[in-house]
Amino acid sequence: MNGIALADGSIHRINCDEKRAVIFDIDDTLVDTNYRTLHILQKAGKELHLNALIELEYPKVDFFCSVTVKNAGIKDPALLEKICGHFDPDPRKNTMYQSVWGKSFYSDPEELHFDHVMAGAPDFVNRIMKETDAKIIYVTGRSEEQQTQGTIEELAYYGFPGFNGDQSACASLVMKPQSYLGDDTSFKKAITIALQQTGVTILAAFDDSASNANMFRDIFPAKVLVVRPNRNVADTAKNRPGIEQITNYYLNATVDAKTGVRSVSSNEDQLTDMIQRAIRIDTDGSLI
Ligand SMILES: [Mg+2]
C-alpha cells in the first residue's frame, strides 16, 4: 500500500495523479451507520440488562446516540452518559469515545459489518469518477489506527472505486489519525486546504454533516458543489445557502413538518445535473 503524509492525515492507495477531485465522506454519506448503532445498542442492552435497548428497532435510531436511547425510553442522565457519553470540543471533557456506544462505533472494525450501503451510492461514485475524469477522495473521520482495514474491506465489499478491483479507478482514502485531537470538521478542512494547496481542483464534496457541509461551502467557490445527504431533503435549517440535499443516490424523501407524511421521488435528473455542472468546473472554481 502506498501512503503519503498530507497535513494531519495519510492517503492510502494512490493509483493516479489527478488534479481534479471529488470528495466523499463515508459514514451516512455512502453507508448508513444507523444499522451499526442499532446492533451496538442491542448488544449493550443484553450486557446491561436493558429490555428497552434489546427491543430497539431501526426507525427509532437517530444519528445521535443519546436521541436514540431516549427514543427507546431511557431518560436517566447517568445511564445515558454511560451508554452514549457526550461530545465536548475539549478532548479532556469529551466522553463520547469512551462510552459503551462510542467505543464500539468508532473503534471496533467488526461493527462496520452492520453498516448498509446507501441506495445507489456505488454506482453514483463510479459514475461521477468516470464522467468528470476526477479522482475520488474518501475523507473520513474514522480512526486510521483502528479502522483502516475494516474501511478498505467495506469499500471493496460494496464496489466503491479504488477498492473494487478496477485498476483504472482513481481514488484514495484519507482517515483521521489518533494523534489528531480536533473534531472532524477541522480535520476535513485541513485536508481540503492541503489538497487545494497542492493544486488539486475540488469539483464537489459530499458530506451528511451540516457542520462539514457548511465548512466546505465556506471555503469553496460558489460553483463547486456541496451536497449533503439528508433523510428529509426539506430539512434545511442547519444549512448555509448553496448546499444541495439528496436522501440517497436513488431518491429524495420529503417529510411534511406538520403531518409527518413522507413522500419520495426519483432524483436521477438532479444527480445527472450535478455531474454535468461538476464536469464544467474550471481550475478557479468557476464554470467553463
Ligand atoms: Mg458522515
- The model's pLDDT over 199-255, given as tens digits with 9 standing for 90+, comes to 899 999 999 999 999 999 999 999 999 999 999 999 999 999 999 999 999 999 999
Any domain includes 286 = no
Domain boundary, last residue among 91, 114, 137: 114
Return the percentage of the chain with pLDDT > 70, whole number: 94
> What distance in angstroms lies between residue 32's CA and the mean position of ligand 1's atoms?
9
Cα–Cα distance for residue pair 85/87, rounded to 1 Å: 7
> What distance in angstroms lies between residue 265's CA and the mean position of ligand 1's atoms?
23
> What distance in angstroms lies between residue 49's CA and the mean position of ligand 1's atoms?
30
Name the domain count of the chain.
Answer: 2
The closest of 78, 77, 75, 79 to 47, measured between CA atoms, is 79
pLDDT digits (tens, 9 = 90+) for 54-81: 999 999 999 899 999 999 999 999 999 9
By residue range, what is the domain housing residue 72? Answer: 34-114
pLDDT band at residue 5 under the 50/70/90 scheme: very low
Domain boundary, last residue among 74, 90, 114: 114
Any domain includes 162 = yes
Task: Kindly list the protein residues that place their beta carbon closer than 5 angstroms to ligand 1, a single-atom ion.
Answer: 25, 27-28, 208
CATH number of the structural domain spanning residue 270:
3.40.50.1000
Amino acid at position 177, single letter: P
10-42 in b/e burial notation, b at 16+ Cβ within 10 A?
A: bbbbbbeebebbbbbbbbbbbbbbbbbbbbbbb
Contact 99, 82 (CB under 8 A): yes
176 shares its domain with 65:
no
Grid cell in block for residue 20: 481534479
Domain boundary, last residue among 114, 139, 168: 114
> What distance in angstroms lies between residue 245's CA and the mean position of ligand 1's atoms?
14
Any domain includes 151 = yes
> What distance in angstroms lies between residue 59's CA and the mean position of ligand 1's atoms?
19
